[in-house]
Structure 1
Amino acid sequence: MKKGFRYAIYATVIFLLASCSSTKYVPDGAYLLDEVRIQTDNKEIKPSSLSVYVRQNPNSKWFSLIKTQLYVYNWSGRDSTRWINRTLRRLGDAPVIYSETETGRTSEEMTKAVQNMGYMGAMVEPVRQVRKKKMKLTYKVTAGKPYKVRTLKYDIRDSKIEEYLRQDSASTLLSEGMYFDVNTLDSERQRITSHLLQNGYYKFNKDYISYTADTVRNTYLVDLTLHLSPYRLPNEEKTQNHRQYTINKVNFITDYNVLESSALSSVEVNDSLHYRGFPIYYKDKLYLRPKVLTNNLRITPGSLFNEQDVQRTYSNFGRLQALKYTNIRFFETQQGDSAKLNAYVLLTKSKHQSISFEVEGTNSAGDLGAAASVAFQHRNLFKGSEAFMIKLRGAYEAVSGLQGSGAHNQNYTELGAETTINFPRFMFPFLSNDFKRRIRATTEFGLQYSYQMRPEFTRIVASAGWSYKWGVQRQRSQHRIDLLDINYLYMPWIDPTFKENYLEKDENYILQYNYDDRLIVRTGYSYTYNSTGQALMNNAVMGNSYTIRVNFESAGNLLYAVAKMGRMKKNDNGEYTLLSIPFAQYLKGDFDFAKNIVIDNRNSLAFHFGAGIAVPYGNATIIPFEKRYFSGGANSVRGWSVRDLGPGSFPGDDNFLNQSGDIKLDMSIEYRTRLFWKFRGAVFVDAGNIWTLRDYKDQPGGKFKFNEFYKQIAVAYGLGLRMDLDFFVLRFDGGMKAINPVYKKGKDRYPVFHPDFGRDFAFHFAVGYPF
């Protein structure tokens, strides 16, 4: 610990020395832009909303504190031919030299932005403070009195559009007495345009809508008029009312190549067919059933053009894994006095079959091993874009510290197989096709099998599932219903020595329960809401965002009701059985909330709160091992190793099964910053623990009690280094214990004041952010 403290002092001295030379490469007569601030005299005008107009920002800071990259740049020498100087300059940031021109442009754009909010007399004054070769720049915003709309009028000479707007008047963003906000006026133009695009006005855009504003002399009042311009034919002076278009025909072209000419005449078509009045053109062989095409179409012949129907069609075809791209084009056609559109749905085929291999290394508490898997995927199994996958997996691990006699198997071996098939439609018996067509869900069936051999036991885990998913990529809300999920745990062999020493001799109820044959028949529902619609860039959410996850599941209720009504006999442990296999019964609910707050383009603050509870009842007094909660690890309280914390004040007994619980609480706050190149840094504080609902003798201190649980919340702090590789993030976190709930008082309870690196440190490697 003393050595680490000495290194920290050395690092501090280096940064202090570097800070002394932060103006090393600032030319004479120029200034280092050291700080930029925005001050407003109106609480309604947030400085954060104006920061986007700042044309020149000072050098970035790590954790908003230290201009590390500027210091790295300043460490370089003036001889640019030396590799060390070139490397330092590449890793660092050159000093930002104050520019009078950029300051003037910033003032102009900021003034315009405030005036657009309704403060027509707003002024922005840059105030400069110079000290030696550094400059602090403050933009002082004087808003003045806002202009308000006194009267609101409409100049619309198209009677049909006027009627549409009158019927939709309750949705308008304009009103008398509102601030004369240009942004609101533009939003109203967009709103009207969207409304008309849903009612047949295919060629309408917001440029047809304009405003005139007359200010009342010597007042801050505005008379506002909204104008609708008539439609003007290209290269003609003649004007007319805007045309309302009806869908005439919808055609499918299934072999469109986006890399070739965009002209439809260049599309290679060898054959065609008609299905329910829809022409379908294809090259050699139609790879999708006609019904699949028409069921996902939302553009209806004979109806008015509707932009929402077009977007729904894009969304529906986007769910089909048999397709790579979808493009929809419209061509005008005149039939008498009616304006009509012919629609062409252009589809590009994806690669339907693929094989993938995976190899990984494992390290379980020092035991080294390896695993490999091979997977085959077919994205169009029955010509309906059904995604079929089958995966075979094998794993081997050299096990040390055996708990059994080892006569049956010396090491850990696992052989497994899984298969899933996903149908891009809602499937359920006894429902009409029209009803199923309206439900935008995918249906998935899956089977899994795992054969595990250890020195202590042999275990077989088999499962089957039937589930539904709603929501596609970039949608904010995602739903999943596990209609039926059956898991069967079978223990064909247990080492006699292990059974005697750990299952029978100590009478450990948790161990006994989880080493018996068990059946879990569950249903569940999960909901995810992402405020950005999962619009990610470089694995980081752009702008402030939050995510909510809710999960609920139950198991065994139907089987318990059948057993009760059938007056079935119980086994020796007081459990009802199905085919001599006891089944689990429980309720489980989880809630998870994460929020990201962007401070600037390099720094952000992330919060996380998670809680869960699992309640065994009826046919069970304990939750199955696979459904229990664990604490500690890369995605939990990072001062503890994985599954090494709790429950409650229980210190652990080297048996990870005993360090599990029925209640979980997790809280985290993390300050994230960009370092250089692909590297990101983080400072975090985590808190949480797990508890049991019952008082088990093998988990002393683990039961949840309202008057004690808050004293048993563990706290950790630490540093993290992340490498953002665009497609995924490699994460390295080092956590230190701050409050250890194992101890009720004394210095051992508060290692934050008495740290011991060997005792309190935990290192974690993971892929992706912790929340």
Structure 2
Amino acid sequence: MKRNSQIYIFSLALLALGSCSLTKFVPDGSYLLNEVNIVSEQSEVKPAPFKSYVRQNPNSKWFSLIKVPLYTYNLSGRDSSKWINRMWRRLGDGPVLYDEGLDIRSQQEIKKALNNQGYMSASVKSSKKISKKKLNLTYTIVPGKPYIVKSLKYDIRDKGIEAILKKDSAETKLSKGMLFDINVLDAERQRIANNLINQGYYKFNKDYITFTADTVRNTYQVNLTMHLLLYKASASDELRNHNQYRINKVNFITDYDVLQSSALSSIEINDSIHYKGYPIYYKDKLYLRPKVLTENTYIHSGRLFSERAVQNTYSSLGRLSAIKYSNIRFFETQIADSSKLDCYVLLTKSKHKSVAFELEGTNSAGDLGAAASISFNHRNLFKGSESFMFKVRGAYEAISGLQGAYGNNDNYTEYGAESSINFPSFLFPFLSENFTRSIRATTEFGMQYSYQLRPEFSRTIASASWSYKWAQRRQKVQHRIDLLDISYIYLPWISPKFRADYLDKANSIFQYNYDNHLIVRSGYSYYYNSIGGTMQNNTTASNSYSVRINLESAGNLLYGISKLVNQQKTENGDYSILNIAYAQYVKGDFDFAKNVEIDKRNSLAFHAAFGVAYPYGNTAVLPLEKRYFSGGANSVRGWSVRTLGPGSYKGADNNINYLTQSGDLKLDLSMEYRSKLFWKVQGAAFIDAGNIWTIRDYENQPGGAFKINKFYKEIAFAYGLGLRLDFDYFVLRFDGGMKAVNPAYSSGKERYPIFSPDFSRDFAFHFAVGYPF
């Protein structure tokens, strides 16, 4: 009965959409632009790159299937004075009417693009197919035979530049036999200009480079000549060689106000110092150590001007939290027969001290709670742009499913504090200054303390860390080294019932995790983002991808020392420090995400992640903090958080599944179709797959071990729909997932709920901030 009612409602929705004619608001004599296609008569010329030259596109489709915005607009009546009609029109999109003028312009733009690629005899045909008031438009590309560069010559009158270009000839984009592609010629002009302005030619630009092309009669061949023109400051000046500039002086002005006049004479300066030949001017008090300024500057007196050095200086100064803005200016000066540049580095001071208060809501597997924190930040603690942070935090959560099982305490509370200090340099002994300047790393020291009280136990976690972070290649590549990370887990109290039910049982996988233990680890993280930028979410950009790799190990050094000194093992068979057992394991994670743009409103995103952790030596069981969990908003979304796996394990019937449903291996696979709907709202349809497994067989997790001959049968599948509210700075996400294949069952409708879905059994709702991958 329920299924029949769902089919009935779905049919009514389709009927409602179908009853709204797409051409309701198309005037007589006009046509709705229904489709626009581009085809090519030659396979070597692909039509896809020419879509951007079409000047008129039809109404958008949700998920590339249905023109829902147009249907929504057509729900309105013709009386625009009624509020309901105005509302439908605001929510939807009006019909796109065929425009002959834009059609002709599109043909011209596509033909121009073909000409630029060397197809000088190309033509573009437009054909129309009309059905009632709908028009389908097709552009047919006829490229013709392309023009080929037969010979390549250079006309460079500046002998100094000619010598530089000869050394750089291996990098040229030009060659005999290439297509006569205007885009390649322009790219070569820009490449040469970039090379020269990095070798002292401060005033050079690509407009000094031109090309002449002579076609050979009755052939499709071109004799190409590149000209590099001499310098001319004005129309009345004589032609001369381009000046190669060197840096004269580098000056720092540390109290520049961007809201005041940009003239140097208007900047208020009260005092100055000289440090290693660098004049440093300031207003009242110098807030940065001179060494910090010089170490983050790549422009040096006596060297040739280089735009690369300027950009490196901007990037390096941008890392300093004590500085809000930086601006670099150059002024030409003539010393004897040499052309030189005086450099002024203008710096605007940031607000060094701040206090912030945060209030947040929490949702852990359906248990609601709240948390609050207050933090203090100092962005220039020792006058070296060191960032210091101190935060205190408190949290409360109402735990469901345990009422009466552990007395009157059914809540979770947490109190904690953390502190960190970040140095904008690579602090490590015996490293050369050239190395630390080239890597531009930051060094961070941190400490954290947290006290947690649950109905089952209380826990104290204390940690300290020492790490390095740096980026390369315009923020595309980021590295992190956790040189030392120490965590101490102490459980001062455990409920007798919890101990009897879970910890005192033979072969319990959790006994180790609820003993006091120590984790001393080191790790390395690699992150690559094809579009660059530390804050950019690659999954929102066109045709981008990212790769994350994490490696870490713990306990190896301590284990080696214990062996070396012949330390006696405890009664549990492990080594300890001050009667505290330490963990020993290795762990590796790999994560890949890719976004493929279908059109401006639709994209397809893929995600694959794999992780494995192996306990050994001093540890038989991986610490709970390092184990994997499956299900939830960023995993297989047909399951609630931490309710899937390991393997075919069904979970316990005691509402404490977070204890048993964890593993040593994890697999996550996802495919998501994303579509912009209206305003800030986006839609998604997804398919997820994955699970977790244990490396060893554990009595408390039957069916959870990874077996090469059956793991593929234990991969869970889910499907669903989602909505995203994209406010640029953050994304609110709502996902509804349904189980498709449930590995907890071996056969029947329970294993394949996709064929007999039960909403109460198979549905999981997720609310999260940010994209799933």
C-alpha distance 740-356 of structure 1, shift in aligned 2 (>3 A): same
Query: How far did residue 361 of structure 1 move?
Result: 2.6
1:404 and 1:495 in contact (8 A); partners too? no
Greater mean alpha carbon deviation, residues 267-276 or residues 594-603: 267-276
CA distance in 2, matches of 1:540, 1:705: 34
Query: How far did residue 4 of structure 1 move?
Result: 3.0
Greater mean alpha carbon deviation, residues 632-641 or residues 654-663: 654-663
CA distance in 2, matches of 1:488, 1:316: 36
Which letter maps to 1:388?
A: F
Greater mean alpha carbon deviation, residues 367-376 or residues 554-563: 367-376
- State the partner residue of 2:267: 267
**1:738-771 Cα shifts (integer Å, max 9, x gaps):** 1111112222211111111111000000000000
Which letter maps to 1:427?
A: L
- State the partner residue of 1:56: 56
Query: How far did residue 410 of structure 1 move?
Result: 5.8
Which letter maps to 1:9?
A: S
Query: How far did residue 539 of structure 1 move?
Result: 8.4
- State the partner residue of 1:461: 461
1:357 and 1:374 in contact (8 A); partners too? yes
1:502 and 1:508 in contact (8 A); partners too? no
**1:682-732 Cα shifts (integer Å, max 9, x gaps):** 000000011110011111111111110111110000000011112100000
2:578 is equivalent to residue 579 of structure 1: yes
1:539 and 1:728 in contact (8 A); partners too? no
Query: How far did residue 290 of structure 1 move?
Result: 0.6
The count of aligned residue pairs is: 768
- State the partner residue of 1:183: 183
C-alpha distance 735-368 of structure 1, shift in aligned 2 (>3 A): closer
Greater mean alpha carbon deviation, residues 128-137 or residues 231-240: 231-240
- State the partner residue of 1:739: 741
Q: Paired residue for 1:659, among 648, 661, 671?
A: 661
C-alpha distance 722-552 of structure 1, shift in aligned 2 (>3 A): same
Which letter maps to 2:589?
A: D
Q: Paired residue for 2:762, among 749, 760, 764?
A: 760
Alignment of structure 1 residues 93-492 onto 2, 5 Å: 93-402=93-402, 406=406, 411-471=411-471, 475-492=475-492
Alignment of structure 1 residues 596-607 onto 2, 5 Å: 596-607=595-606
CA distance in 2, matches of 1:584, 1:447: 20
2:38 and 2:51 in contact (8 A); partners too? yes
CA distance in 2, matches of 1:198, 1:404: 74
- State the partner residue of 1:8: 10
CA distance in 1, matches of 2:423, 2:529: 25
Query: How far did residue 495 of structure 1 move?
Result: 2.1
**1:424-475 Cα shifts (integer Å, max 9, x gaps):** 1100123344443333100000000001122322211000000000117961
2:526 is equivalent to residue 527 of structure 1: yes
- State the partner residue of 2:646: 647
**1:32-71 Cα shifts (integer Å, max 9, x gaps):** 0000000012233222211110100000000000000001
C-alpha distance 234-540 of structure 1, shift in aligned 2 (>3 A): farther
CA distance in 2, matches of 1:576, 1:538: 44
Greater mean alpha carbon deviation, residues 346-355 or residues 520-529: 346-355
**1:82-130 Cα shifts (integer Å, max 9, x gaps):** 1111111111001000001111111111101011111111111111111
2:617 is equivalent to residue 618 of structure 1: yes
Greater mean alpha carbon deviation, residues 650-659 or residues 430-439: 430-439
- State the partner residue of 2:510: 511
2:531 and 2:538 in contact (8 A); partners too? no
CA distance in 2, matches of 1:648, 1:158: 72
Query: How far did residue 7 of structure 1 move?
Result: 2.1
CA distance in 1, matches of 2:645, 2:43: 47
> Helix, strand or coil: the match of 1:455?
coil
> Helix, strand or coil: the match of 2:280?
strand
Query: How far did residue 355 of structure 1 move?
Result: 1.0
Gaps of 5+ in 2: none
1:404 and 1:456 in contact (8 A); partners too? no
Gaps of 5+ in 1: none
- State the partner residue of 2:500: 500
Which letter maps to 1:511?
A: F
Query: How far did residue 540 of structure 1 move?
Result: 6.0
C-alpha distance 473-183 of structure 1, shift in aligned 2 (>3 A): closer
CA distance in 1, matches of 2:32, 2:659: 59
1:479 and 1:525 in contact (8 A); partners too? yes
Which letter maps to 2:90?
A: R
CA distance in 1, matches of 2:381, 2:651: 50
Which letter maps to 2:590?
A: F
Greater mean alpha carbon deviation, residues 495-504 or residues 95-104: 495-504
- State the partner residue of 2:673: 671
> Helix, strand or coil: the match of 2:373?
strand
Query: How far did residue 284 of structure 1 move?
Result: 1.2
Which letter maps to 2:87?
A: T
> Helix, strand or coil: the match of 2:750?
coil
- State the partner residue of 1:707: 709
- State the partner residue of 2:541: 542
C-alpha distance 346-52 of structure 1, shift in aligned 2 (>3 A): same
CA distance in 2, matches of 1:322, 1:8: 59
Query: How far did residue 236 of structure 1 move?
Result: 2.1
CA distance in 2, matches of 1:337, 1:639: 75
2:606 and 2:671 in contact (8 A); partners too? yes
> Helix, strand or coil: the match of 2:510?
helix
Using the size of structure 1 for normalisation, the TM-score is 0.97
CA distance in 1, matches of 2:368, 2:94: 46
2:696 is equivalent to residue 691 of structure 1: no
Q: Paired residue for 1:721, among 715, 720, 723?
A: 723
1:403 and 1:455 in contact (8 A); partners too? no
Query: How far did residue 538 of structure 1 move?
Result: 9.3
Which letter maps to 2:558?
A: L
Query: How far did residue 363 of structure 1 move?
Result: 3.9
2:114 and 2:122 in contact (8 A); partners too? yes
> Helix, strand or coil: the match of 2:416?
strand
> Helix, strand or coil: the match of 2:619?
coil
CA distance in 1, matches of 2:91, 2:381: 50
> Helix, strand or coil: the match of 2:617?
coil
C-alpha distance 79-492 of structure 1, shift in aligned 2 (>3 A): same
Query: How far did residue 265 of structure 1 move?
Result: 1.5
- State the partner residue of 1:91: 91
2:646 and 2:703 in contact (8 A); partners too? yes
- State the partner residue of 1:589: 588
Which letter maps to 1:611?
A: F
Query: How far did residue 507 of structure 1 move?
Result: 2.9
CA distance in 1, matches of 2:402, 2:132: 70
CA distance in 2, matches of 1:366, 1:198: 58
Query: How far did residue 536 of structure 1 move?
Result: 7.3
1:319 and 1:472 in contact (8 A); partners too? no
Which letter maps to 1:600?
A: D
> Helix, strand or coil: the match of 1:93?
coil
C-alpha distance 371-98 of structure 1, shift in aligned 2 (>3 A): same
Query: How far did residue 542 of structure 1 move?
Result: 3.2
CA distance in 1, matches of 2:534, 2:388: 27
1:539 and 1:724 in contact (8 A); partners too? no
2:563 is equivalent to residue 564 of structure 1: yes
Which letter maps to 1:208?
A: Y
CA distance in 1, matches of 2:592, 2:412: 37
CA distance in 2, matches of 1:685, 1:240: 66
1:251 and 1:344 in contact (8 A); partners too? yes
Query: How far did residue 579 of structure 1 move?
Result: 1.2
2:403 and 2:410 in contact (8 A); partners too? no
C-alpha distance 707-256 of structure 1, shift in aligned 2 (>3 A): same
Query: How far did residue 326 of structure 1 move?
Result: 1.0
CA distance in 2, matches of 1:283, 1:539: 43
